[in-house]
Each structure stands twice: as structure tokens, then as C-alpha cells.
Amino acid sequence: MEEKIPHVVIVGAGFGGVAAIKALAGTNVKITLVDRTNYHLFQPLLYQLSTSVLSTDDISFPVRAMFRKRKNIDLFMAQATDIDGKNKILHTNHGEIAYDYLIVSAGATTNYFGLESVEKYSYGMKTIQETLHIRNHVLHMFERANKQLDSEDVRRQMLTFICVGGGPTGVEEAGALAELVAVQKLDYPHLNFDEVSIKLIEATDTVLPMMPEKLRNYTLKVLRKKGVEVMLNTAVADCSEDGLTLKDGTFIPSKTVIWAAGVKANPVVATLGTKCDRSGRIIVTKTLQVPGYPEIFAIGDNACFLHNDRPLPTVAPVACQEAHAAVDNIRKLLSGQKTLKEFVYKDHGSMATIGRCEAVVSWGYLRIGGFLAWCIWMFLHLLRLEGIHADITVGIKWMWNFISGTRLGRIITNIKFEDIND
């Protein structure tokens, strides 16, 4: 009689999904990874793609190549559409997959908080396609402004770049845009760079809320020094093709609004029908299980797990730690154990870059900002990239960028995103 090997299905090839597969190594299970792409995307560096420092395949890694040596792992490239928890079936746009255990790590999409005009006219930055769209558009604005000899107003509108959201994504994007502008300045001798403006808009009274106050203030100082206009306590009301309207009625003419104000869980999460938080994340048990479905675990951006009475942030280290805990518990279930382990989050701190040579790092007792923090940030990100090849290429590009300031990714490829429908 053939022994039935348990089937673990993992939805999403993000940090959580990939960590779960690695953690499952050596367990006698069949693993199917379901993702609508064939690559693991290193999302924390998307802002460097959007600002021409890195290119697409520096931050995206074919998942099959990552698990080449493991024959019990397969990728099923499809969009997960529905989780049928009762019958233990995952539905996708390419058919259904039966599972014994399911890890929901399908990541997040941009949260527009119901602002339809913002969703329509602003740029999200969660996928490769969206990010290339930003890069092409920003570079194109310089070319168009350079041809716009008549109207200063039109030029100023084209050269006003707005980032909304003072979290790490918004801060890093605004800082990187400021650096990009400095490079562009060398290439457009006929353009008046006083007409260029970068604005960072944040609804609360601070940027990088997870950081200690000292580093928050340092971040503000550095951003302003780099030419970013930081607008705190500023809420967005509306967006159009021609600019952004604030809650107080102010209109800022601009062709470029980058929306980094929040994320919400992948909509497939909601199809389970269990209780979710405001961001669409499943309120999981202390063992990371989905209430009512002991064989389903939700992690990363798909799980709402309270830590010190607040939900854990939607960052890679949380997803990775949760992946390990979920896999440990799946192993316990496989071996017939009834008592699972409760997840305990270890906070290792956080970090963010604010452009070339500047970063802030809050790590245990270490709280620093500046060049050293930037070096630590680079080192740790190189460590976390997949494979030596990416380390070398990205390392060289960063070094080159540091020495010469050059950004050779400044090409406009006229790409808009499009889904595959088949």
C-alpha cells in the first residue's frame, strides 16, 4: 500500500512563503507553491527600481531556481482566487488544488482607504510592473518638461513629484527621488532645476513612526537637506490627472503622485470568511492558525497578530518568523501532537535609507543615523538577497552609484502593466 504524502500548499512566494518552504526542508511532505508570478520579489528594494538604481532581475529571483534540488516542491503559477476551507481546496484561475495544510502568505496590495480618485490617478508601488511604470513616468516627465519651452507652470507641474505616506516606503522613495534629481541635473543643461519639487505628505505628525524620536527628527532633517519638502499633519482629499487636493482645499499641481500610505491584505484572504482586521488581515490564533480551520495558517501581511497590544507590522522579518513558527506547528500536527507552540515575536528593530550615504537604524540598543547606518543597511540587505549572483551585481551597482552617482537604469521602456488572461 502506497503511503500518502501530506500535501502542503503555500499561497504566495514572498518572504513568508519562501521562508516556509525553506523551513519545511527535510519534512516528508509534498509542497506546492502557488503564485501569480514565477519569482520571489525583494519588495524592500522596489524603490531602487523605481529610481533607476537597480534593474528588474536584481530584485526578483525565479523560485524554481531557488528550490532546484528539491523534487518534492513544485510551483503552480496561478492567481489564487478562493479558499474553500471546508473541503480543503484552493481555487485558482488555472484550476483547483486540494491541500492537507495551507499556509496563506499571499502578501498585500496598496490600500487607498476608499479614495477612488487616488486609486485611479496615483501610482502604487507593490509590483514590478507598477514600479517600472513609476520609473518610466518620472523619467518621461523630465523629457517632456525639457521640450516645454513656453509655460513655466506646465514645467513645474511636470517636475513636481509627490510621495504620500511617511512610512519606510514613502521616506525611501522621496529620498531616492531627490538623489535621482541630482543625477538628472547633470543631463539637462537647459532645464531650470529650481522648478523641480519633491514633496512627502504624511497625515500624522511624524515620519517613520516605528523609530525612536531622535531618529525620526534626524530623518526629517536629512530629507529636508536633500531638498524634500516634508508636509506633516497633511491629509489627502482627492487626486486627478493634474494634481493632488489636500483636505484643507490646497491644490498641488503634479503629474506624479506615488501612493505609499498603506497596504491591505490580498483579497483572497477574505474568501475564507473569518474575522479580519481593518487591513483585511485574518485575526489568527496565538499558534498562527485561522480560527475554525486548524490546518490553515496565515502569516505575514495576511495575519493580524497582536504583540504588545498592537498588530505586528507588515514587514519581512515578521513574515519570516511567522513562517518558521507555522512550519513548526505543521510538523507537530503531522507527528500527531495536539499542543501547538504559541508564536512569540522577537523584535530586532527596523531601518530605512534616506538616500545616498544616509540611513537610520534602530536595532536593540543601537540607534544611529548617517553614513554608518547606511553601510549597515546595505550590508544587511545584501545578506538577505537571494544568491551570490544578486549580491555581486547589486553590490557593484551600489558601489558604482556611490563612487560616480551614475544611474544607468534611467531608460524609459514605455511599459504599462497588463495581466495575462489565459
Q: Round to whole Å and give the CA distance between 43 and 305.
A: 21
Shortest reach from residue 68's CB to a copy of itself, in Å: 6
Nearer to a copy of itself (CB atom), residue 65 or residue 98: 65
Q: Round to whole Å and give the CA distance between 303 and 26.
A: 26
- Give the three-class secondary structure for 13: coil
What phi, psi does 251 have (nearest 5°)? Answer: -110, 130
Q: Round to whole Å and give the CA distance between 214 and 222.
A: 12
Q: Round to whole Å and give the CA distance between 273 and 280.
A: 11
- Give the three-class secondary structure for 8: strand
Give, for 169, the enclosing helix (H) or strand (E).
helix 168-187
Residue 200 forms beta bridges with which residues?
A: 163, 230
Place of cell 519639487: 197
Nearer to a copy of itself (CB atom), residue 129 or residue 206: 129
**295: annotated active-site residue:** no
Nearer to a copy of itself (CB atom), residue 87 or residue 421: 421
Nearer to a copy of itself (CB atom), residue 281 or residue 397: 397
Shortest reach from residue 11's CB to a copy of itself, in Å: 16
Shortest reach from residue 162's CB to a copy of itself, in Å: 20
Tell me the HSE value of 227 on the side-chain side, using a 13 A CA sphere: 16
What amino acid is encoded at 397 in this protein?
K
Shortest reach from residue 81's CB to a copy of itself, in Å: 15
Nearer to a copy of itself (CB atom), residue 65 or residue 306: 65
Shortest reach from residue 184's CB to a copy of itself, in Å: 8
Kindly name the residue from 119, 143, 172, 322 that is annotated as catalytic: 172
Nearer to a copy of itself (CB atom), residue 1 or residue 388: 388
Shortest reach from residue 137's CB to a copy of itself, in Å: 10
Name the nearest CA neighbour of 357 among 182, 197, 213. 182
Q: What does DSSP assign to residue 233?
A: S
Name the nearest CA neighbour of 232 among 264, 209, 200. 200
Query: Starting from the edge strand earliest in sequence, which strands make up the sheet with 251-253, in order?
Result: 236-240, 243-246, 251-253
Burial label, 419 (beta-carbon count in 10 A; 0-12, 13-18, 19+):
exposed
- Give the three-class secondary structure for 261: coil
Q: Round to whole Å and give the CA distance between 351 and 201.
A: 20
Shortest reach from residue 46's CB to a copy of itself, in Å: 13
State the sign of the Cα–Cα–Cα–Cα dihedral 290, 295, 300, 302: negative
- Which residues in this chain contact a copy of itself in the complex, by CB under 8 A? 37-39, 55-58, 60-62, 64-65, 68, 71, 74-78, 94-95, 128-129, 132, 139-140, 143-144, 146-147, 186-190, 387, 389-390, 392-393, 396-397, 400, 406, 408-420, 422
Catalytic residues: 172
